[in-house]
Amino acid sequence: MHKLWASTYKEILLLTRDIGGIAILFVMPLVLIVTITLIQDSTFKTVSDAKIPILLVNNDQGSVSETIKTGLSESNAFEIILKAHEQEAKELVFSGKYQLAIIIPEKLSEDLEKKVAQNVEGIIAKFGLEEETETEPLDIPNKEVKLYFDPATQVSFKSSVKNGIDKMISKIETQSIYKAFQEQVSDDPTEVIFETENFITFTEILPQEGNEEIIPNSVQHNVPAWTLFAIFFIIVPLSINIVKEKSQGTFVRLRTNPVSYATVLGGKTIVYLIVCLIQFMLMLLVGVYLFPAIGLPTLQVSGRLPLLFIVAIFAGLAAIGLGLLLGTIAKTQEQSAPFGATFVVILAAMGGVWVPVFIMPKFMQTLSNISPMNWGLNAFYDVFLRNGSLLDILPELLLLLAFFLITTLIAITYNEKKNAV
């Protein structure tokens, strides 16, 4: 025990003597979490402060194009810039100056009205409510709303815009049909024959904490994800610490001392776990106090702190286990630092920090199940967003602990084998 305490104290001294290193350990994760949350916040907001400027070429000038224009404006996501010519709009978008141009064709309103009226007349005539006319139906060509996207635009943004416009057009078509029927069957335009409101609606049911719903926001999503990312980055300084012991000769001395490798690693584990918890605490403080001050939603932690710290401890242990293994196997800092950093990014990607696991290909979803970052992220989401209890997160905690024990055991065994006498 005395040797473990001495090793721990030595690690504390080494860490506190490197002020630059400490600053990086604690400040960079905070910068990361603030930056990412600021960037991602708008995607979670229903009312965004930052509007995307888009171009609209209105060749129709009728009621349909007005409805589209109003719909886009009222979505509060776009700032509509009107352009007179399609070619100009196309060039501006393809040169990357704008993300999107919407080209509404000529006579869209007029032709839609004619087409709907013609169809409705035909239906009513079939029912014998009106005399069938001898006249041939007009040949009204299909209309096409053109969308020009900047080639650099992300697919998710394109899909979301396309879906939005498609929905708007469908609604306009439905309303036109109702209107045409109204005109055919009633002389009084004010008489309500059809209810045009949606018959089928949907309501999102959110998990509750007490009587309050837990409403997900960018902070509740980002803080756990990027906190976990930062916690796992402990792999880099920890593995460098072990490699340094080898290169500066202290490890050789320790091998001749009557102290086990497990004790040496134990000291490092305790200190780096404390570092992880301080990092975690700082990130929570940023979420609770700094975020509201800079216009971001407040991180809700009330009643969840004990569980959050339990998840942070186990996630920290998993990260430390990986750092101990990497440091033990790597021979130089040039091996451990880039590998550690890249591996954390891979684990984060596999774990669902950037892209949700459910939209990954099947193979990657399977791989994701063996990423400790995925276990940690699920545990954090269980606590932050699903109002989970200790029992709910127990499987993830056990997986993280098993990961720590296995990686540390491999590190100790590898070291014993390599230095067997």
Partner 1 sequence: MIAVEQISKKYKGSENFSVSNLNLFIQEKEIFGLLGPNGAGKTTLISILCSLIKPTSGSFSINGLTYQKNKNKLKQLIGIVPQEYALYPTLSAYENLKYFGSMYGLKGKNLDDKINAALEHLGLLPFANKPIDTFSGGMKRRVNLIASILHDPKVLFLDEPTVGVDVQSKNVIIGFLQDLNKKGTTIIYTSHHLNEAESFCSRVAIIDHGKLIIKGKPSELIGKYPEAHNLEDVFLTITGKALRDHA
- Where on the chain is the footprint of partner 1 (CB under 8 A)? 2-3, 6-7, 9-10, 13-14, 17-18, 248-250, 252-259, 419-421
Nearer to partner 1, 15 or 379 (CB): 15
- Distance separating alpha carbons of residues 245 and 204, to the nearest angstrom: 55
Q: Which amino acid is at 3?
A: K
Nearer to partner 1, 362 or 418 (CB): 418
Residue 318 Cβ vs partner 1, minimum distance, rounded to whole Å: 28
- Distance separating alpha carbons of residues 298 and 312, to the nearest angstrom: 20
Residue 257 Cβ vs partner 1, minimum distance, rounded to whole Å: 4
Tokens of 213: 């719903």
Residue 245 Cβ vs partner 1, minimum distance, rounded to whole Å: 9
Nearer to partner 1, 5 or 289 (CB): 5
Nearer to partner 1, 192 or 421 (CB): 421
Nearer to partner 1, 266 or 351 (CB): 266
Nearer to partner 1, 163 or 257 (CB): 257
Residue 13 Cβ vs partner 1, minimum distance, rounded to whole Å: 6
Nearer to partner 1, 6 or 81 (CB): 6
Residue 2 Cβ vs partner 1, minimum distance, rounded to whole Å: 6
Residue 244 Cβ vs partner 1, minimum distance, rounded to whole Å: 9
Nearer to partner 1, 19 or 155 (CB): 19
Nearer to partner 1, 6 or 394 (CB): 6
Nearer to partner 1, 258 or 295 (CB): 258
- How far from the centroid of its chain's Cα atoms is residue 64's Cα? 35
Residue 20 Cβ vs partner 1, minimum distance, rounded to whole Å: 12
Q: Dihedral (C-alpha) 79, 80, 81, 87: value to the nearest 10 degrees?
A: 120
Residue with tokens 């497990």: 262
- Distance separating alpha carbons of residues 235 and 291, to the nearest angstrom: 27
Q: Which amino acid is at 308?
A: L
Q: Which amino acid is at 209?
A: E
Residue 12 Cβ vs partner 1, minimum distance, rounded to whole Å: 11
3-state secondary structure the chain: CHHHHHHHHHHHHHHHCCHHHHHHHHHHHHHHHHHHHHHHHHHHCCCCCCCEEEEEEECCCCHHHHHHHHHHHHCCCEEEEEECCHHHHHHHHHCCCCCEEEEECCCHHHHHHHHHHHHHHHHHHHCCCCCCCCCCCCCCCCCCCEEEECCCCCHHHHHHHHHHHHHHHHHHHHHHHHHHHHHHHCCCCCCCCCCCCCCCCCCCCCCEECCEECCCCHHHHHHHHHHHHHHHCCHHHHHHHHHHHHHCCHHHHHHHCCCCHHHHHHHHHHHHHHHHHHHHHHHHHHHHHHHHHCCCCCCCCCCCHHHHHHHHHHHHHHHHHHHHHHHHHCCCHHHHHHHHHHHHHHHHHHHCCCCCHHHCCHHHHHHHCCCHHHHHHHHHHHHHCCCCCHHHHHHHHHHHHHHHHHHHHHHHHHHHHHCCC
Residue 225 Cβ vs partner 1, minimum distance, rounded to whole Å: 34
Residue 334 Cβ vs partner 1, minimum distance, rounded to whole Å: 19
Residue 420 Cβ vs partner 1, minimum distance, rounded to whole Å: 6
Q: Which amino acid is at 280?
A: F
- Distance separating alpha carbons of residues 322 and 408, to the nearest angstrom: 8
Nearer to partner 1, 144 or 416 (CB): 416
